[in-house]
Amino acid sequence: MIAGFKKRTATFLQTLKETGARCGEAWALKWTDLNGNILTINAPEKGSLPRQHKISEKLVSMLQSLPKKDLRIFGPYTCLSNFRSGYMKKRRSMSRNLSDPKLNQITFHTFRHFYATMLYAKTKNIILVQQKLGHRSIENTQIYTQLIVFESDEYHSATATRTDEAEKLVQAGFEYVCTTTENIMLFRKRK
């Protein structure tokens, strides 16, 4: 879906996806909040805490390709409500063109839920999810993690015999399962 939008909106959505930021927090990001591949949310909303996120090279590149006309990354071009209206109009168009009504259910906040869900599924660490979302209360974080229901237990599997091979698999999102009697390390990643 992100690829179906123009550069500025696609970058905004990718930022939401990779940081779990609220749309207002992402909208308030300044160029000074970007330091290499570290993006700092310095204007948290709803009493949340400031936080830092390591972002992908893809997102860094997308951000760097935006015009630097203002102190803020997503600029003074329009207000957030106008930006949201443009997003919803394009989303409806994509939904019609692709005959996929579920696209109309994807809001800016959906990306925050996606981020929290995937981080929890990957780490099983509710405290880390709490910190990354900036929540002061674990109860707020639990709202996100209650929604996790994976319909399938299908995995891609991979093996490694050396530490450097195992490291590459972990970096690619595989999780360690066990080591066989032949000293072969088994890894898996959800399909």
Q: Write the pLDDT tens digit of every residue in 125-148.
A: 889 999 999 999 888 888 877 655
Question: Would you identify the CATH topology of the domain 2-107?
Answer: hpI Integrase; Chain A (1.10.443)
Prediction pTM value: 0.76
Q: What pLDDT is attached to residue 151?
A: 55
Q: Give the residue from 29, 9, 43 showing the smallest Cα distance to 72.
A: 29
Q: Which position has the higher pLDDT, 147 or 32?
A: 32
Q: Are 10 and 2 in contact (CB under 8 A)?
A: yes
Q: Are 117 and 147 in contact (CB under 8 A)?
A: yes
Q: Write the pLDDT tens digit of every residue in 39-74.
A: 999 999 999 999 999 999 999 999 999 999 889 999
Backbone phi, then psi, for 156, in 5-degree steps?
A: -90, 145
Residue 45 token pair: 């909303």
Instruction: Give every strand in the sheet of 51-54, ordered side by side.
Output: 34-35, 38-41, 51-54
Distance CA 53, CA 30 (A): 14
- pLDDT(104) > 90: yes
Q: How far is CA 147 from CA 71, 114, 122, 188, in A?
A: 37, 10, 14, 23
Domain boundaries, the chain: 2-107, 155-190
The helix/strand/coil state of 69 is: coil
